[in-house]
A and B are shown apart, each in its own frame.
Chain A
Amino acid sequence: MQGLEKLMLEKANALLQSGEVDRVIGWKKGESYYDVSPATFTKDNLEGFVYNCFCGANLSKYLVAESKKEGKMLVFLKPCDTYSFNQLLSEHRIEKEKFYVVGVGCNGHLDMNKVYAQGVEGILSMSEDENNLIVETVYGQKIVEKESALLIKCLTCKSKEFAVADETLVVGEMKPANPNRFEEVEKLESMTEAERYAFWKEQLSKCIRCNACRNACPACTCINCVFDNNASGISAKANADEFEEKLFHIIRAYHVAGRCTDCGECSRVCPQNIPLHLINRKVIKDINENYGDYQAGAEVNARNPLVNYTKADVEAKEVVEGGNK
């Protein structure tokens, strides 16, 4: 990873120096190795630029605001993030001319909670190699296998292709994508209605309506969210009732239906660990099975299945039944 970070930094410097770009968006190191957050950089200030195994955040969402600014920006996108970028292009939320896209290699990023869960305590510093996270703690050195601490979204990685990139920086071979990303959805589908109801009731009752999922989602870029808009008839700031827990997530999933690229940011950022990606992924599965395979963001200006139809489409009932096979 360090090798890639160096290449990225060089690329950023070169493009900034040549005037090809005015700004850079990437990840910035905070207090500690795992405290990484998206940040913008300029020519004179590339301080703290980092690309390590904790750079799971999808930078695409930030580009909606950045696209409005003057000048051109260099953006580093992991394969899965490139789909979001294309989707935003399709929806005219960003302009391609405003960005220089550098695709960066990815072997999955880590979930710090999973590192803690392995009994890591008293951290002094961290480093990493290809397969391991090396943690120096007050108790000595601790080796954490990267495979064991992957983010949910990386466990079910959908693609290692760059859907868009002006150039790519990849060191070594990327590990292949996971072909079985619908396994968990299928498990839910095979339950009875009552079991599914109980499952989601338990999960969604944890929701504190912090809006993290909405704020991180690259498909949630409305100027005024319906939940904040009193004219919408469903605005609410908190889940006052069990119904509203469901309403928020059903509407949100439907809102991004056909547009969700399955980037997994919703689940990554949920402080309550609600498996929100399972809602969006159900829609994707239904689309694939009933209306033909579709990957949002794979192509710019592709017609989203929800604005499309064929005369031979199955009846709604069959879509419901199909999932319960």
Chain B
Amino acid sequence: MQEIEKNQKKPLIVAFCCNWCSYAGADLAGSSRLSYPAEVKIIKVPCSCRVNPIFILKAFQRGADGVILCGCHPGDCHYSEGNYRTRRRMGLLFSMLNYFGIEKERTRIEWVSAAEGAKFSAVMNDFAKTINELGENRRLEDLRCKD
């Protein structure tokens, strides 16, 4: 019984959240008690444009099954244009990853404002569901990093 449970590993999701909107949105989800799966772990960045493709690749390497970026809505960036840059950079990165055969569902961008606690929770629930259905990340993993 324990063996089975151990084998059915829960997926791991890394969420990069910008300090000004999405991290605050996550806080609001928390204070509104809007739950989302515990497999979602948040890393705070000043702006979504701080997220280097290397961070995302590293997460997959280390065993993440999905990576999601959250930023302010286009037009609302605290730094006025950071999320526009993110949108381009990640458009090209995600497309390239998919070109290499990495499932396109494993990467996502969502715009979540500080007022959208409900959206944050809904997005994370949905993303976790998608990743759960997709199963473990096999195409961009580093076996040395797996137990």
Contacts and interface: CB of A to CB of B under 8 A. Distances in A.
Interface of A: 188-189, 193-201, 226, 232-234, 240-244, 246-247, 250-251, 253-254, 257, 279, 282-283, 286-287, 290-291, 305-311, 313-324
Given A251-B54, A282-B96, A323-B95, A311 B88 contact: no
B101 A251 contact: no
B142 A306 contact: no
Contact of B92 (A234, A306, A315): A306
A309 B142 contact: no
A128 B75 CA distance: 60
B53 A193 contact: no
Interface residues of B, number: 37
B108 A317 contact: yes
Interface string B132-147: 0000000111111000
Contact of B100 (A250, A290, A316): A250
16 contacts: A193-B102, A197-B101, A232-B54, A234-B57, A241-B144, A244-B142, A246-B140, A247-B57, A250-B57, A251-B57, A286-B92, A287-B92, A307-B85, A309-B88, A320-B91, A324-B98
Nearest to A258: B92
A315 B97 CA distance: 16
Contact of B99 (A188, A305, A307): A188
A290 B141 CA distance: 29
B121 interface: no
Given A193-B104, A240-B144, A241-B144, A313 B87 contact: yes
